[in-house]
Amino acid sequence: MNNTISRIIRRFEHLKGTPDKETGAGSPEVKPQSETGPVIRKVRQWFSLPSGKIPDQLAGKRPAKEPKNAFSSLMEMLPVPKKTHPLPGLQDCHTDDEIVDRIIGEHQQYEELPPLPPFTGVDENWVRDRYWLVPPFSYVNITKDWEMNTRYEIIEPKVTEKELIILEETYEQLRTLLIYDSPVKRESELDEEEVRSIIRSFDPKIPDDRTNILVYYLNRNFTGYGKLDPFMHDEQIEDITCNGAGIPIFIYHRKFANLETNIVFGNEELNKYVLKIAQKADKQMSLTSPLVDAALPGGARAQITYTDIISSKGSSFTIRKFKADPMTPVDLIVNGTYNSELMAHIWLCVENNKSMIVVGGTASGKTSTMNAISFFIPQTTKIVSIEDTREIQLPHRNWLPMRTREGGKNLDAGDVDMFLLLKTALRQRPEFIIVGEVRGAEAQTLFQAMNTGHTTYSTLHAGGVKEAINRLTHDPINVPSVMFEALNLMLIQGLQYNDGVGFRRCLSLNEMNVSEGDIRWSPLFEWNARTDRFDQVFTTSKTLDAIAYSHGWSPGELNAQVQVRKKLLDRMVEKKITCIDEISHFINELRKNSEQCRYSKE
């Protein structure tokens, strides 16, 4: 019966002149005929039409014979509509490739970066990777040494003694001219024309290319992060760690894991630098308050210790970086964390309001994956996200991000935890709730939200499905097993290593089931470590079957929906489309057209 209703409604909505669902505007006032009375009442009920108003297409029509029921009668009276498409010409597409080509169109490639300088002072065979950080000034060489350890080396332009004097004089003059009274102003760019005029006042004959280099250093030191500024421009870096004076900076690279760098701080230099970082975050540090947790401009998080009161090696800091642009489904496919087929299945599930928990260990990329799959949420859907630290970034406009707050040492009453935020979110009638990570009582509320019809996504620290269930069903979380009936999928992600190089992989996508109080799971996809491929291991899926049932799709049509999404993902990877706005636009275009572009491939 539900399938019949869905088909009738879909056909009815395609009719030209369909009345407004609230007012029935545009529909003639006609006295319903007795034979069509049950049909008209059903139409009026579905579309809330005022009494006596029916669509033009039904006015004066009579069924061929006495109706056995309202549904069959309405089906007879409705003309077969022509398919209409939001994108011009899409009705002429006959294959998935044509649909994808029409959606993406003639995508313009981004302007390529200038070529890197030739190798100097290092054997090309020992270089594992190199790329620009701040083109055309600074870049990085990731090399192996004679002990086969991988090292991260920042290369910046060299300056002469004369240029160094000009740089110092310009720096001092700028300090007297610029007054910083807020963190926002500290992050603003310098007026380059003014800076150039000051530089030329010291040396009128300095060439333009050398002036550009001095402007780069002034921007780096004034509005940037000084010696660490090139690190902050590297999207591949997740963590920057300084363990003390005289010790090289270590970073965590998305591709090469932990790497030693060629940047080292002296003792006094490091003490001044940690004070500068705290100042950027609008925090105060002193011998009486030597610990600071701060949010830096741009969203990075810093944990700072001052002098050797806390750390025996002196001042130290750890900066946790987040990508300026959020991780997208295209990024995950390019990195090999997922393939397009697995991602297409996830896309279809997210689009159809299936709840999911992303499970994994430390640094396995759980939040990045949750952020990426959130791109598949329809654009106008109401979303509320709840986090301890702001990490989730969505392109949706109807999105309310919230985060917890600590009231302070003597302000416990001012604490706002995830449990309170989640209860608040439920009063806002969101369709999707995204929780950064569940650890305690908020998990029970999250499962309550699932069981009351909200689609929810969250992350959980655990090694696999069994460990995740154990955490969720025991102290301190204690989610009743019957509540798992509302959880559709559990995604397992892990950080793997090969020859000392770390990489992330989706280990499995699992469908959750509850039978007589027992929580069970069935894998849909599994990662094959030998082949580094994702194997489809299911023949039937209750989640996918439910999606097909709700849309009235046959198995062939369901497969067609997966394949057209897979092809769009493949095409975006092929064309190197990384802009979040473009990716979001293409995903939304396919979603809008998917209902009209169904091809049976049975």
Q: Please give the single-letter amino acid code of residue 560.
A: A
**How far is residue 102's CA from residue 566's CA, in Å, rounded to a whole number?**
15
345 alpha-carbon distance from chain centroid:
17
Verify cis geometry, omega within 30 degrees of 0, for the bond prior to 136.
Answer: yes
What pLDDT, on a 0 to 100 scale, did the predictor assign at position 105?
65
Helix pair angle (340-351, 366-373), 10° resolution = 60
Ordered structural domains, the chain, with CATH: 2-77 (no CATH), 329-594 (3.40.50.300)
Helix, strand, coil % (nearest 5) of the chain?
40, 20, 40
Q: Bridge partners of 515?
A: 518
- b/e sequence 117-148, b meaning 16+ C-beta within 10 Å: eeeeeeeeebeeebebbbebbbbbbbbeeeee
CA–CA gap between residue 56 and residue 48 (Å, rounded): 16
What's the one-letter identity of residue 524? L
556, 596 in Cβ contact below 8 A? no
Report pLDDT for 458.
94
b/e sequence 149-175, b meaning 16+ C-beta within 10 Å: ebbbbbbbbeeeeebeebbeebeeebe
Residue 90 near residue 593 (C-beta atoms within 8 A)? yes
Verify cis geometry, omega within 30 degrees of 0, for the bond prior to 476: yes
3-state secondary structure of 493: strand
CA distance 189 to 583: 29
CA distance readout (Å), 273 to 307, 316, 317: 11, 10, 10
Q: Which long-range contacts (CB under 8 A, 24 or more apart) does 159-167 make?
A: 159/213, 159/214, 159/217, 162/203, 163/206, 163/210, 163/213, 163/214, 166/199, 166/202, 166/203, 166/206, 166/214, 167/214, 167/217, 167/218
Helix boundaries (H) for 452-512 = 465-473
Q: Are 223 and 188 in contact (CB under 8 A)?
A: yes
Do residues 457 and 357 lie in contact, with contact meaning Cβ atoms separated by under 8 Å? yes
Q: What is the pLDDT of residue 134?
A: 92
Mean pLDDT by 10 residues, the chain (602 residues): 44 42 40 44 46 45 44 45 45 67 63 78 83 93 86 94 91 74 50 88 91 93 91 92 95 89 94 92 86 83 90 91 84 95 96 95 89 93 87 89 70 72 88 88 86 92 94 90 94 87 91 91 95 94 95 92 94 90 90 59 42
| Ramachandran angles phi, psi of 398, nearest 5° | -90, 60
